[in-house]
Amino acid sequence: MHIICSDLEGVFIPEIWINVAERTGISELRLTTRDISDYDELMTHRLKVLDAHGLKLQDIQAVIATMEPLPGAFEFVRWLREQSQLIVVSDTFLQFAAPLMEKLNRPTLFCHELEVAADGRITAYKLRQKDAKRKTVNALKSLDYTVLAFGDSYNDTGMLEASDFGFFFQPPDNVIKDFPQFPVTRDYETLKDFIRQSLKLT
């Protein structure tokens, strides 16, 4: 029995924080897990920037409401779910991801949650657990699943390392340089071929 784990942002949907940065003009919010490997460092930075500029949850959700899945993502997710079970394992937050998951026909999502004050200020974030992506794969393997995983950033590498088959999808050059052991795919059709070959699909 096999199961597929994937990242969300940069794989099925655009990077949420980059879109917020572009809409608000706050360049400090452009940093993502493609740039900073330490997630706590990244989120601490983001919360400080939001507080400094008075941005609230509803401001970010207004940007998210304008976003659409990446071209071909809906069809690719449908194909994945026809081949295997799919779990999207993301370091985003439920308050951000829910509207976009609706546009992908609601695949299973494991992610984190934000702590939000009554006035809409994001005061903190609550990780589902530390190193959640790797631990998700390890848990599935303990249930005797063969796990195939793909993602695009530093925070996906634990998931890829733990999986039976791990691939990058459209990663930046710095991530490829630091983790040359993972095959790189650049489009959904190539990724399909890797998945078919790895899981011996017809």
Residue 159 sits in a domain of what CATH number?
Answer: 3.40.50.1000
Which residue of the set 7, 91, 152, 156 is catalytic?
7
Residues 169 and 100 in one domain: yes
Residues 161 and 173 in one domain: yes
**R_g over Cα of the chain:** 17
Element (H, E) at 178: helix 173-178
Look up 7 and say whether it is catalytic: yes
Q: What is the pLDDT of residues 124-177, one digit of tens each?
A: 999 989 899 999 999 999 999 999 999 999 999 999 999 999 999 999 999 999
Q: What is the pLDDT of residues 68-106, one digit of tens each?
A: 999 999 999 999 999 999 999 999 999 999 999 999 999
Task: State the Cα angle at 160 between 4 and 114, rounded to 5°.
Answer: 80
Residue 120 lies in a domain: no
pTM (predicted TM-score): 0.93
